Amino acid sequence: MRPKAVLLDVDGTLIDSNDAHAHAWVDALLESNISVEFAVVRRLIGMGGDKLLPKVANIDAESRQGKAISQRRGEIFQSKYLPEIRPFPDVGVLLRRMEQENLILAVASSAKENELDSLLGLFDGKNFIQLTTSSDDVDNSKPDPDIIEVALGRLGHPREAVILLGDTPFDVEASLRAGIRAIALRCGGWSDIDLQGAVQIYDDPADLLIHFDKSPLCEL
């Protein structure tokens, strides 16, 4: 079935922000006297804090300490890193092309809602996107399929008519667990081996745009 809707991840997919998120976590943890290597955190970007904190520091994200670190990470990200973040080339052109193909665009992101608003503002995303789902809408972030399930419920389309565009193994796993297809982009920093399970893999939004007519977004 030709897709009727696309679920969009944002960080690492439309916006070059994965490194910034990892640095913000490292900084916030260090302020609590917890030293974690950047590379360790970087491999987990794409998960929400509910998954990341237990893995890197054995801290329950719902504990007082976990909530304090998560809040501080958000503050650091917004003040220190967000001003330097930019969208990947041709993101707006790609979204406009999707819109011209009558695809409904929705966001399914592990980001917090306030951060998501800031990120979408970097490329006028709200002009294209009809609904958003963030980590604030669910208890469990990717690779659990909760965010996708909420978005699917709001869209109302059958699963075979929805496809996800993401950049991490967590996006791919979440989509498979939700019973939908995924297109993956390498620009988030993962290899093709990491992204196995995606129906197609492209370098970045610009590469997908070049091959749009033959992509899963246009298949009959």
What digits encode the pLDDT tens for the residues 106-147?
A: 999 888 888 888 899 998 888 899 998 887 888 888 999 999
Domains of the chain: 5-16+86-214 (3.40.50.1000), 18-84 (1.10.150)
- Per the prediction, the chain carries an average pLDDT of 94
Residue 219 has pLDDT above 70, yes or no: no
Burial of 22 (0-12, 13-18, 19+ CB in 10 A): buried
C-alpha–C-alpha distance, residues 7 and 182, integer Å = 9
C-alpha–C-alpha distance, residues 58 and 66, integer Å = 10
**What's the pLDDT at 1?**
72
Mean pLDDT of the 147-169 span: 94
Q: With residue 8 as reference, give the H or E element that holds it.
A: strand 5-8
Residue 175 has pLDDT above 90, yes or no: yes
Task: Please tell me the least confidently modeled range out of 135-149, 157-171, 189-203.
Answer: 135-149
Residue 183 has pLDDT above 60, yes or no: yes
Residue 2 has pLDDT above 70, yes or no: yes
Mean pLDDT of the 49-54 span: 93
**What's the pLDDT at 133?**
87
